[in-house]
Protein backbone atom coordinates (compact mmCIF):
# COMPACT_ATOMS: atom_id res chain seq x y z
CA UNK A 1 0.00 0.00 0.00
CA UNK A 2 1.07 3.56 -0.68
CA UNK A 3 0.57 6.76 1.33
CA UNK A 4 0.48 10.16 -0.36
CA UNK A 5 -0.33 13.74 0.53
CA UNK A 6 -3.07 15.80 -1.17
CA UNK A 7 -0.44 18.58 -1.38
CA UNK A 8 1.03 16.66 -4.35
CA UNK A 9 -2.01 17.44 -6.52
CA UNK A 10 -1.09 19.12 -9.82
CA UNK A 11 -2.63 19.75 -13.25
CA UNK A 12 -0.24 17.13 -14.72
CA UNK A 13 -1.65 14.43 -12.43
CA UNK A 14 -5.18 15.43 -13.45
CA UNK A 15 -4.14 14.60 -17.01
CA UNK A 16 -3.88 10.94 -15.97
CA UNK A 17 -7.57 10.72 -15.03
CA UNK A 18 -10.36 9.73 -17.40
CA UNK A 19 -13.31 11.92 -18.36
CA UNK A 20 -15.62 10.55 -15.65
CA UNK A 21 -13.00 11.15 -12.98
CA UNK A 22 -12.28 14.67 -14.22
CA UNK A 23 -16.00 15.47 -14.20
CA UNK A 24 -16.32 14.19 -10.61
CA UNK A 25 -13.19 16.14 -9.64
CA UNK A 26 -14.65 19.38 -10.99
CA UNK A 27 -17.88 18.87 -9.01
CA UNK A 28 -16.14 19.08 -5.61
CA UNK A 29 -16.67 22.55 -4.18
CA UNK A 30 -13.70 22.49 -1.79
CA UNK A 31 -10.16 22.53 -3.13
CA UNK A 32 -8.94 20.08 -0.46
CA UNK A 33 -11.56 17.53 -1.60
CA UNK A 34 -10.44 18.06 -5.22
CA UNK A 35 -6.78 17.54 -4.25
CA UNK A 36 -7.46 14.36 -2.25
CA UNK A 37 -9.49 12.95 -5.15
CA UNK A 38 -6.91 13.88 -7.83
CA UNK A 39 -3.97 12.41 -5.91
CA UNK A 40 -5.89 9.23 -4.98
CA UNK A 41 -7.04 8.53 -8.52
CA UNK A 42 -3.73 9.43 -10.20
CA UNK A 43 -1.93 7.16 -7.73
CA UNK A 44 -4.41 4.30 -8.21
CA UNK A 45 -3.91 4.56 -11.99
CA UNK A 46 -0.11 4.69 -11.73
CA UNK A 47 -0.01 1.62 -9.48
CA UNK A 48 -2.38 -0.40 -11.67
CA UNK A 49 -0.48 0.69 -14.81
CA UNK A 50 2.83 -0.36 -13.33
CA UNK A 51 1.39 -3.71 -12.23
CA UNK A 52 -0.16 -4.31 -15.66
CA UNK A 53 2.65 -2.77 -17.73
CA UNK A 54 0.40 -0.26 -19.48
CA UNK A 55 -0.18 3.49 -19.69
CA UNK A 56 -2.14 4.85 -16.66
CA UNK A 57 -4.71 6.31 -19.03
CA UNK A 58 -5.51 2.82 -20.36
CA UNK A 59 -6.61 1.62 -16.91
CA UNK A 60 -10.38 1.41 -16.49
CA UNK A 61 -12.17 1.47 -13.13
CA UNK A 62 -15.51 -0.34 -13.05
CA UNK A 63 -17.65 0.78 -10.13
CA UNK A 64 -20.40 -1.50 -8.94
CA UNK A 65 -22.95 -0.97 -6.19
CA UNK A 66 -24.92 -3.99 -5.03
CA UNK A 67 -27.21 -1.90 -2.83
CA UNK A 68 -29.08 0.61 -4.95
CA UNK A 69 -29.99 1.60 -8.48
CA UNK A 70 -28.61 5.13 -8.50
CA UNK A 71 -27.66 5.73 -12.15
CA UNK A 72 -24.27 7.40 -11.72
CA UNK A 73 -21.31 5.02 -11.25
CA UNK A 74 -20.46 4.53 -7.58
CA UNK A 75 -19.30 1.83 -5.19
CA UNK A 76 -15.98 0.05 -5.03
CA UNK A 77 -13.69 0.63 -8.03
CA UNK A 78 -12.45 -2.56 -9.75
CA UNK A 79 -9.54 -2.22 -12.21
CA UNK A 80 -10.30 -3.29 -15.77
CA UNK A 81 -8.76 -3.07 -19.24
CA UNK A 82 -5.09 -4.13 -19.11
CA UNK A 83 -5.26 -3.99 -15.28
CA UNK A 84 -8.05 -6.59 -14.99
CA UNK A 85 -7.21 -9.10 -12.26
CA UNK A 86 -5.76 -6.51 -9.89
CA UNK A 87 -7.76 -5.17 -6.94
CA UNK A 88 -7.46 -1.78 -5.26
CA UNK A 89 -8.88 0.17 -2.37
CA UNK A 90 -8.77 3.95 -2.07
CA UNK A 91 -9.07 6.06 1.06
CA UNK A 92 -8.64 9.76 1.82
CA UNK A 93 -9.02 11.87 4.95
CA UNK A 94 -7.43 15.18 5.94
CA UNK A 95 -3.77 15.11 4.88
CA UNK A 96 -3.76 11.41 4.06
CA UNK A 97 -4.41 9.63 0.79
CA UNK A 98 -3.93 5.86 0.67
CA UNK A 99 -4.17 3.26 -2.07
CA UNK A 100 -3.81 -0.50 -1.55
CA UNK A 101 -3.16 -2.89 -4.43
CA UNK A 102 -3.39 -6.70 -4.52
CA UNK A 103 -3.34 -9.35 -7.19
CA UNK A 104 -6.83 -10.85 -7.26
CA UNK A 105 -7.61 -10.62 -3.53
CA UNK A 106 -10.42 -8.26 -2.45
CA UNK A 107 -8.83 -5.49 -0.38
CA UNK A 108 -10.20 -2.72 1.84
CA UNK A 109 -8.24 0.26 3.18
CA UNK A 110 -9.55 2.95 5.51
CA UNK A 111 -7.97 6.00 7.14
CA UNK A 112 -9.83 8.25 9.57
CA UNK A 113 -8.79 11.55 11.16
CA UNK A 114 -9.26 11.49 14.94
CA UNK A 115 -11.82 13.98 16.24
CA UNK A 116 -13.79 14.09 19.48
CA UNK A 117 -16.92 15.54 17.85
CA UNK A 118 -20.09 13.64 18.86
CA UNK A 119 -18.18 10.55 19.93
CA UNK A 120 -21.08 9.17 21.99
CA UNK A 121 -23.49 9.49 19.07
CA UNK A 122 -21.03 7.90 16.63
CA UNK A 123 -20.25 5.08 19.05
CA UNK A 124 -23.97 4.24 19.47
CA UNK A 125 -24.32 4.14 15.67
CA UNK A 126 -21.17 2.19 14.83
CA UNK A 127 -20.31 -0.18 17.69
CA UNK A 128 -21.89 -3.48 18.72
CA UNK A 129 -22.89 -3.93 22.40
CA UNK A 130 -19.63 -5.78 23.16
CA UNK A 131 -17.51 -3.16 21.36
CA UNK A 132 -19.39 -0.36 23.06
CA UNK A 133 -18.75 -1.82 26.53
CA UNK A 134 -15.01 -2.22 25.78
CA UNK A 135 -14.88 1.32 24.38
CA UNK A 136 -16.59 2.83 27.47
CA UNK A 137 -14.05 1.01 29.66
CA UNK A 138 -11.14 2.89 28.00
CA UNK A 139 -9.62 5.89 29.83
CA UNK A 140 -11.52 9.01 28.76
CA UNK A 141 -8.33 10.35 27.13
CA UNK A 142 -8.08 7.25 24.88
CA UNK A 143 -11.69 7.17 23.70
CA UNK A 144 -11.39 9.35 20.60
CA UNK A 145 -8.41 7.44 19.16
CA UNK A 146 -9.97 4.16 20.34
CA UNK A 147 -13.21 4.87 18.55
CA UNK A 148 -11.45 5.58 15.24
CA UNK A 149 -9.38 2.40 15.60
CA UNK A 150 -12.70 0.54 15.74
CA UNK A 151 -14.13 2.51 12.84
CA UNK A 152 -11.10 2.06 10.56
CA UNK A 153 -10.94 -1.70 11.22
CA UNK A 154 -14.65 -2.17 10.60
CA UNK A 155 -14.77 0.02 7.51
CA UNK A 156 -11.65 -1.61 6.02
CA UNK A 157 -13.49 -4.96 6.26
CA UNK A 158 -16.68 -3.56 4.71
CA UNK A 159 -14.66 -1.91 1.93
CA UNK A 160 -12.85 -5.18 1.16
CA UNK A 161 -16.13 -6.91 0.30
CA UNK A 162 -17.45 -3.79 -1.48
CA UNK A 163 -20.43 -3.46 0.87
CA UNK A 164 -19.22 -0.17 2.29
CA UNK A 165 -21.29 1.45 5.02
CA UNK A 166 -24.45 -0.01 3.46
CA UNK A 167 -23.23 -3.34 4.89
CA UNK A 168 -23.82 -1.91 8.38
CA UNK A 169 -20.95 -1.12 10.75
CA UNK A 170 -22.57 -3.24 13.48
CA UNK A 171 -22.67 -6.31 11.22
CA UNK A 172 -18.91 -6.54 11.78
CA UNK A 173 -17.34 -7.00 15.22
CA UNK A 174 -13.62 -6.47 15.79
CA UNK A 175 -11.12 -6.68 18.67
CA UNK A 176 -10.81 -3.74 21.11
CA UNK A 177 -8.41 -0.89 20.24
CA UNK A 178 -5.80 -1.95 22.80
CA UNK A 179 -5.63 -5.48 21.29
CA UNK A 180 -4.16 -6.56 17.95
CA UNK A 181 -6.57 -6.06 15.03
CA UNK A 182 -8.79 -9.12 14.56
CA UNK A 183 -12.24 -9.93 13.24
CA UNK A 184 -14.40 -11.43 16.00
CA UNK A 185 -17.74 -11.87 14.19
CA UNK A 186 -19.39 -10.93 10.89
CA UNK A 187 -23.14 -11.32 10.40
CA UNK A 188 -24.95 -11.27 7.07
CA UNK A 189 -25.03 -13.09 3.77
CA UNK A 190 -22.04 -11.24 2.29
CA UNK A 191 -19.68 -12.09 5.16
CA UNK A 192 -16.50 -13.70 3.82
CA UNK A 193 -15.42 -16.92 5.51
CA UNK A 194 -11.78 -15.89 5.89
CA UNK A 195 -10.35 -12.45 6.14
CA UNK A 196 -7.05 -10.91 7.22
CA UNK A 197 -6.92 -7.57 9.09
CA UNK A 198 -4.18 -5.26 10.37
CA UNK A 199 -3.75 -1.70 11.67
CA UNK A 200 -1.53 0.73 9.75
CA UNK A 201 0.43 3.66 11.13
CA UNK A 202 -0.91 6.81 9.47
CA UNK A 203 0.49 9.24 12.07
CA UNK A 204 -0.63 10.38 15.52
CA UNK A 205 -3.80 12.17 14.37
CA UNK A 206 -5.14 9.30 12.26
CA UNK A 207 -6.15 5.67 12.56
CA UNK A 208 -5.97 3.30 9.59
CA UNK A 209 -6.59 -0.37 8.83
CA UNK A 210 -6.20 -2.78 5.93
CA UNK A 211 -8.34 -5.87 5.30
CA UNK A 212 -7.82 -8.58 2.68
CA UNK A 213 -10.23 -11.42 1.93
CA UNK A 214 -7.68 -14.20 2.14
CA UNK A 215 -7.39 -17.60 3.78
CA UNK A 216 -3.67 -17.01 4.27
CA UNK A 217 -1.74 -14.33 6.18
CA UNK A 218 -0.81 -11.32 4.08
CA UNK A 219 2.53 -9.51 3.96
CA UNK A 220 2.05 -5.76 3.64
CA UNK A 221 4.68 -3.50 2.09
CA UNK A 222 4.06 0.14 2.99
CA UNK A 223 5.46 2.79 0.62
CA UNK A 224 5.61 6.57 0.45
CA UNK A 225 4.16 7.59 -2.94
CA UNK A 226 5.66 11.08 -3.08
CA UNK A 227 8.66 10.15 -5.24
CA UNK A 228 6.43 8.21 -7.64
CA UNK A 229 3.93 11.06 -7.97
CA UNK A 230 6.62 13.71 -8.45
CA UNK A 231 8.47 11.60 -11.04
CA UNK A 232 5.24 10.82 -12.87
CA UNK A 233 4.32 14.46 -13.00
CA UNK A 234 7.67 15.31 -14.57
CA UNK A 235 7.59 12.37 -16.98
CA UNK A 236 4.08 13.01 -18.22
CA UNK A 237 4.88 16.68 -18.45
CA UNK A 238 7.84 15.90 -20.72
CA UNK A 239 5.79 13.42 -22.80
CA UNK A 240 7.86 10.40 -21.74
CA UNK A 241 6.13 7.05 -22.22
CA UNK A 242 8.17 5.35 -19.49
CA UNK A 243 6.58 4.58 -16.14
CA UNK A 244 8.59 5.24 -12.98
CA UNK A 245 9.03 2.31 -10.62
CA UNK A 246 6.52 2.71 -7.76
CA UNK A 247 9.03 1.38 -5.22
C1 LIG B 1 -17.59 5.07 0.33
C2 LIG B 1 -17.43 4.52 1.73
C3 LIG B 1 -17.24 3.01 1.67
C4 LIG B 1 -16.12 5.04 2.39
O5 LIG B 1 -16.27 6.28 2.88
P6 LIG B 1 -15.26 7.23 3.66
O7 LIG B 1 -14.63 6.61 4.85
O8 LIG B 1 -16.06 8.44 3.84
O9 LIG B 1 -14.16 7.54 2.58
P10 LIG B 1 -12.80 6.87 2.16
O11 LIG B 1 -11.98 7.99 1.69
O12 LIG B 1 -12.22 5.97 3.20
O13 LIG B 1 -13.19 5.94 0.93
C14 LIG B 1 -13.71 6.47 -0.23
C15 LIG B 1 -13.33 5.58 -1.39
O16 LIG B 1 -13.83 4.27 -1.19
C17 LIG B 1 -14.13 3.69 -2.45
N18 LIG B 1 -15.48 3.14 -2.35
C19 LIG B 1 -16.66 3.73 -2.62
N20 LIG B 1 -17.67 2.86 -2.35
C21 LIG B 1 -17.09 1.72 -1.89
C22 LIG B 1 -17.58 0.47 -1.47
N23 LIG B 1 -18.89 0.19 -1.45
N24 LIG B 1 -16.70 -0.48 -1.08
C25 LIG B 1 -15.38 -0.23 -1.10
N26 LIG B 1 -14.83 0.94 -1.49
C27 LIG B 1 -15.69 1.89 -1.88
C28 LIG B 1 -14.00 4.76 -3.50
O29 LIG B 1 -12.79 4.56 -4.20
C30 LIG B 1 -13.94 6.04 -2.69
O31 LIG B 1 -13.08 7.01 -3.18
P32 LIG B 1 -13.38 7.79 -4.54
O33 LIG B 1 -14.81 8.18 -4.50
O34 LIG B 1 -12.41 8.92 -4.52
O35 LIG B 1 -13.08 6.83 -5.64
C36 LIG B 1 -18.67 4.88 2.57
O37 LIG B 1 -18.80 6.28 2.69
C38 LIG B 1 -19.95 4.35 1.97
O39 LIG B 1 -20.22 3.16 2.01
N40 LIG B 1 -20.77 5.22 1.41
C41 LIG B 1 -21.95 4.80 0.73
C42 LIG B 1 -23.14 5.22 1.49
C43 LIG B 1 -24.21 5.59 0.52
O44 LIG B 1 -24.21 6.67 0.01
N45 LIG B 1 -25.10 4.66 0.24
C46 LIG B 1 -26.15 4.91 -0.72
C47 LIG B 1 -25.75 4.46 -2.10
S48 LIG B 1 -25.24 2.80 -2.12
ZN1 LIG C 1 -25.50 2.47 -4.34
Predicted local confidence at residue 189, as pLDDT: 85
Listed as ranges, residues in the chain with pLDDT below 70 are 236-245, 247
CATH number at residue 5: 3.90.470
Domain match, 207 and 155 both: yes
All residues with CB under 5 Å from ion ligand 2: 65, 67-68
pLDDT at 67: 84
Residue nearest to atom 2 of ligand 1 (CA): 164
Residues 4 and 36 in one domain: yes
Structural domains counted in the chain: 2
End-to-end CA distance of the chain: 11
Residues 212 and 228 in one domain: no
Query: Parallel, antiparallel, or unpaired for β 2-4 and 223-224?
Result: parallel
CA distances to 113, 121, 152, 173 from 118, in Å: 14, 5, 17, 21
What residues flank ligand 1, with Cβ below 6 Å?
37, 40, 65, 67-68, 70, 75-77, 89-93, 110, 155, 159, 162, 164-166
Q: Judge whether 226 lies within some domain.
A: yes
pLDDT at 146: 98
Same structural domain, 231 and 199: no
* Domain span holding position 81: 1-86+222-247
pLDDT at position 244:
62
State the distance from the centre of ligand 1 to the C-alpha of 235, rounded, in angstroms. 31
CA 161 to ligand 2 centroid distance, Å: 14
Of the candidates 105, 111, 61, which has an alpha carbon nearest to the alpha carbon of residue 87? 105
In a domain? residue 147: yes
Q: Which atom of ligand 1 approaches the CA of 70 most closely? A: 47
**pLDDT value at position 237?**
65
Residue among 111, 164, 200 to mutate when testing ligand 1 (max atoms within 8 A of CB): 164
Q: What is the pLDDT of residue 245?
A: 67
Nearest ligand to residue 25 Cα: 1
Q: How far is the CA of 7 from the centre of ligand 1 (A)?
A: 22
The answer to whether position 98 is within a domain reads: no
Ligand nearest the Cα atom of residue 41: 1
> Chain centroid to CA 233: how far?
22
Amino acid sequence: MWWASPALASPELLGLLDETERARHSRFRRSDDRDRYAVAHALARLLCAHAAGCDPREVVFHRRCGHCTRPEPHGKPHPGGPAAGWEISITHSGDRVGVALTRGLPVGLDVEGITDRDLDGLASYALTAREHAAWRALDAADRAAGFFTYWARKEALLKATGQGLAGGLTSVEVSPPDAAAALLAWHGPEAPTQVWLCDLDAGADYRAALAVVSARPVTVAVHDASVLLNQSRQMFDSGSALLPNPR
